[in-house]
C-alpha cells in the first residue's frame, strides 16, 4: 500500500493512499477536522470535526472496485437520479455514472481555517443514454463545517437534461432516536407505497423509508441519543430524499454490514426531476453541513 504526501503545512496535510489497482483515497488532516475521500467516484468517505463523532457513515463491507458504487459517505447521483428507463424499458442503471468513474484532483489549498479540494471529471460518449460532452467540478471545503459544491457544465452544442442528488449517509446513534422535524411540514412521494403528495408526522427514521420531500428548507437531523444536531442546507436543490432500507432490505444488500442499517439515515439534497442545462452553460448544486449540540 503506497502513501504519498500531496501537500502539507503547519495547519494540515493531504496524502494519497492507493488501496488497490482501481481506487486511490485522499486522507485529510487539519487542525479543525479529519476527513477522507475516494478519487474513484469523487466520493467523500468521512468527515469528523475535532471533538465530534464521525458525521458520515461508511459500510464496513463497502466495495472499492470499478463498476461498483461505494456504500456510504456521499455518492454523487448524476446525470440522473434513480433508474433511467428508455422507451424500450431498458434501465440504464441507477443513479448515473459519476459515482463509478475516476475523478482528478486539480487543486488543494490548506489554510488555518480549512482544507479545500477541487476535483474534476470530464468526458464525452460516457453512456448511451447520456452521450453528450460535459465537465463536472466538485469543490469540497473541510473544516469545522463541511461544504460541497458540484458544478455541471454542458460542453455540447445542444441543451441536455439531468437529475441529481448528493446522497449523504449521515451517521446516527440509531434511526429510532432520530427525527427530521422540518420535513413534517412538507408533502412527499412515498417510493415504497407509490403514493404521491402525502403528508404525515415522522416520529423517527426507522426503515424501510424512502421518500421524496418537496421542499428546499434547511433541515436538521436531531439525534437524541448522541445529543447532537446535524444541520444541512442546500443550494439549487428542489427536494430532499429521506432513506433507510430497514433490516429486511439491508440483509439482502451485500455491501451493508450486519445491522448497518441501524447506524445511518440518508438525507439527500436532490433534484429528482429532469432539469435543463443549455449548451455552454453551467449549473451548480451544493450542500453545507454543520454540527451543533442539543
Catalytic positions, written as ranges: 167, 268
**Radius of gyration of the chain, Cα coordinates, nearest whole angstrom:** 19
User: How many other C-beta atoms are found inside a 10 Å radius of the C-beta of residue 274?
Assistant: 12
Q: Three-state SS for 33?
A: strand
Going 93 to 149 to 218 to 57, the CA torsion angle's sign is: positive
Q: Which three cell numbers stand for residue 92?
A: 440504464
Longest dimension (CA), the chain: 58
Contact partners, residue 18, CB within 8 Å, separation at least 6: 1, 2, 24
In degrees and rounded to multiples of 5, residue 61 shows phi and psi of: -110, 20
User: How many other C-beta atoms are found inside a 10 Å radius of the C-beta of residue 122?
Assistant: 14
User: How many other C-beta atoms are found inside a 10 Å radius of the C-beta of residue 107?
Assistant: 11
Q: What angle do CA 166, 86, 161 make, to 5 degrees?
A: 45
User: How many other C-beta atoms are found inside a 10 Å radius of the C-beta of residue 201?
Assistant: 9
Going 222 to 223 to 228 to 231, the CA torsion angle's sign is: negative
| Alpha carbons 43 and 30: distance in angstroms, whole number | 19
Q: Three-state SS for 234?
A: strand
Amino acid at each position: 500500500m503506497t502513501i504519498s504526501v500531496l501537500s502539507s503545512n503547519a495547519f494540515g496535510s493531504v496524502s494519497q493512499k492507493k488501496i488497490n489497482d482501481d481506487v486511490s483515497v485522499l486522507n485529510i488532516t487539519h487542525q479543525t477536522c479529519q476527513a477522507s475521500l475516494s478519487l474513484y467516484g469523487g466520493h467523500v468517505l468521512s468527515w469528523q470535526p475535532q471533538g465530534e463523532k464521525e458525521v458520515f457513515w461508511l459500510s464496513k463491507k463497502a466495495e472499492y472496485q470499478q463498476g461498483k458504487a461505494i456504500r456510504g459517505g456521499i455518492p454523487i447521483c448524476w446525470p440522473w437520479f434513480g433508474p433511467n428507463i428508455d422507451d424500450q424499458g431498458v434501465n440504464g442503471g441507477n443513479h448515473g455514472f459519476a459515482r463509478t468513474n475516476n475523478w482528478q484532483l486539480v487543486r488543494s489549498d490548506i489554510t488555518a481555517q480549512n482544507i479545500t479540494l477541487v476535483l474534476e471529471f470530464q468526458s464525452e460518449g460516457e453512456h448511451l443514454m447520456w452521450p453528450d460532452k460535459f465537465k463536472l467540478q466538485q469543490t469540497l471545503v473541510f473544516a469545522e463545517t463541511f461544504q460541497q459544491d458540484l458544478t455541471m457544465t454542458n460542453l455540447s452544442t445542444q441543451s441536455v437534461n439531468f437529475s441529481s442528488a448528493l446522497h449523504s449517509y449521515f451517521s446516527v446513534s440509531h434511526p429510532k432516536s432520530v427525527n427530521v422535524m422540518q420535513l413534517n411540514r412538507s408533502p412527499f412521494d412515498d417510493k415504497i407505497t407509490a403514493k404521491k403528495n402525502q403528508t404525515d408526522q415522522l416520529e423517527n427514521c426507522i426503515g424501510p423509508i424512502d421518500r421524496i420531500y418537496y421542499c428546499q428548507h434547511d433541515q436538521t437531523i436531531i439525534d437524541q441519543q448522541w445529543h447532537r444536531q446535524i444541520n444541512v442546507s442546500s443550494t439549487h436543490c428542489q427536494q430532499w430524499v429521506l432513506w433507510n432500507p430497514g433490516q429486511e432490505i439491508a440483509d439482502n444488500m451485500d455491501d451493508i454490514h450486519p445491522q448497518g442499517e441501524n447506524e445511518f439515515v440518508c438525507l439527500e439534497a436532490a433534484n429528482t426531476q429532469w432539469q435543463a442545462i443549455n449548451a455552454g452553460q453551467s449549473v451548480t448544486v451544493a450542500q453545507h453541513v454543520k454540527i451543533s449540540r442539543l
